[in-house]
Amino acid sequence: MSEANSNNRETTSIRIDPKLWKEAKMKALEKDMSIGQYIEELIIKDVKNKK
């Protein structure tokens, strides 16, 4: 289940390998980003590459 929040963002939940999640969080920290910002950036890049 998901819902839109006041920042025009979708709140959602995913299932992901715990080791991969830890690596992604570390990568986000290296880039001084939240995990949400990091994932959104990756999705945007992937979607733009598909067009």
Does the residue 38 lie in any domain? Answer: yes
Domains in the chain, number: 1
Provide Rg for the chain, Cα atoms.
12
Does the residue 44 lie in any domain? Answer: yes
Supply the pLDDT for residue 7. Answer: 74
CB neighbours of 28 closer than 8 A, spacing ≥ 6?
34, 35, 37, 38
51 pLDDT band, cuts 50/70/90, is low
Does the residue 45 lie in any domain? Answer: yes
- Which tens digit of pLDDT belongs to each residue from 1-27? 344 445 788 999 999 999 999 999 999
Residue 40: give the domain boundaries: 16-50
Does the residue 39 lie in any domain? Answer: yes
Does the residue 9 lie in any domain? Answer: no
Supply the pLDDT for residue 6. Answer: 53
